[in-house]
Structure 1
Amino acid sequence: MAEQNQPQNDDPFLGLAPEEEKFAKNLTAKCVLGAISQPLTVTRILIQLGHEPFALSTGKTLIVAGRNAYFLPNAFSYMRQLANTQGLGVLWTGLDSAIISLIAQGIASHNTERYIDEYYPNIGGAPENIDKEEDVLSDHESFKRVLRSAIRDSVVRVAAITASRPFTVVLIRQIAQLIGKEVKYTTTFKSLGLIGSQEGPAGLFSGLAPQILGELVVIWGVHSLTYALQRTLLRTEIGNTKQADENAVKSAKDVQKFVKTAVPFVVNSFGYPYGVVSCVMAVAGSGLAVSFLPYSPSFVTWHNAWDYLRPNGLKRGARLFLREQVGAVTVGTDSQLYASNSYFA
């Protein structure tokens, strides 16, 4: 009787098994967050494409100190001015493609990870010392674990990026056509059909190579730097978790956690330029105004885009604030100064 009176807390979500339920809830949360942050996505993609239609301001490079410089509007000012000039709805351009891309990426990542865990557990090495703490492993054991994790993470991310790339291409093109006020790419699946018929499979996966390279740079950079810092810290007093003092041990563990949190922020900056090139290549062959002169030359390969962007463009959109204009400046018809990212600048 007591068992019958107990509340049932284990009802499955949508009839899913616990693992699938957790995945579904996480994916739903990502989609909701993606929808909320879509205005930032629109802003970032336009900036990565070099679209800077708003007036510059002047200031100091260190806010109150440093040299004088011209500054582009910060991301939120850019967003506000974009909404004022083209309407509030423009900030959610490409939302359908963004959500579908997240879903495709999430499903591909989840299924690939589960598949290799079940059928190929030895990819990257034998699954040894998986759940052990870092401080009980030797350098060699820790290295083997890190190497295995990096290899398996690479496989999963490449599969996820490849599966979602066609939707990412559509998303970028839907946003890119705002620059020339075009309406070539409408809904996600109509756009997929249009790209497929006009450009073939290559068009659906344009910009895939630099996106994958950028992800691999981040994955291997994070694993390598985290390994090096953690093993070094274990040899110092600040990171030694085998001390007698409990407070010192707690501080050491906090330092180790901080390393795991901080390293990705540092390494992401090295992968960011590949994301910019990937974005630019996504519109190559699209026929949109942004893919032609004077906006940019027509790129045959992503290496051409990299070389063209190398002087000033590889960090487009990397900052939300203090976006210094380091390239050419032109005077507008309203006598204000504007960034000039055109090919002829």
Structure 2
Amino acid sequence: MSTASWPAAVAPPTGPRFRWPAGFGTRFAICIDTEEEFDWNAAFDRQATAVTAIRALPAMHRRFADRGVPLTYLTDYPVASTPEAADTIARLLEDGVSAVGAHLHPWVTPPHEEVVSRPHSFAGNLSPALEGAKLDALGAAIEAGFGRLPRMFRAGRYGMGPSTLGLLAERGYVIDSSMRSGFCYTGEGGPDFRHVGNHAFRAGPGGALLELPLTTVWLGAMRAGGAALYDLFDRLPRGRGVASRLGLLDRIALTPEEMPLAEALRAIDRAVADGVELLNFSFHSPTIVPGMTPYVRNAEDLARFYAWWDAVLDRLDHHGVRPASEADLVAAATTAPLAVAA
């Protein structure tokens, strides 16, 4: 399937539901956007490249390791190119099950040829040549820092574009996880994922990549209406809030960032009941340091963050949902047959 024909700022194509290998079962993955710190309320800044939050990763990593949960660190250029940060993560990978992938923030990744702007924060809005050059710089930094080229990718701000999947395939990537099911970023010049479901599918030229959408679950009496109904409620005064309070419709992404625990647990129950075979969780690495993102502002918020994960992991265990490492996902992607080229 080729993506070269879909215009920027609209919907990328999807494909038939991926058939996971026999015995894969229902699994979950935790892929962390491992990135620099910046002011989320300010304009994008090419000079904002500090990565001090990486020092907090070992304590966080131990919590998941104690539960037998591998992590995939989707690492961006400022992290991979900073020796202290890369060394910190490299030591975490010594557990033998965690891994690094790639995460592209174009405004802090060379070559710096574009004007820094909100539309250009979506790498898919750059020319294919410049997007490819930034992917090359990122891949080289990861190879230098970790001794291997990345196989899994997520676009920063979910900012994939018409050329992204083809560029990834050319560079040997196996998995993309840039599509955020049920969300739309066209108001900022980004892509529209409202039509994307939670099931994995083949994507890119000839289905060369396995697309793992970030899991988003619709809850409520009107959940079948999904994104279209959610948008309709948004056009009404306080419509989404009213719909949520009345139990009509909620959009729950599998992330501890802004997603209350009770709703997250219900979303896990629903995803398992819906037969979603890979529940794809995410969060941003600076969130584990109070004050660096809007999601964890103080010590109490951080305690709630970890309590969220404890309860979520308990619920997954209750359902018999096992963790999947990056190696598990790559093995599944590379043993299953490719799609027929469109």
Flag the structure with higher strand content: 2
Which of the two has higher C-alpha Rg? 1
Could you tell me the TM-score, scaled by structure 2's length?
0.27
Flag the structure with higher helix content: 1
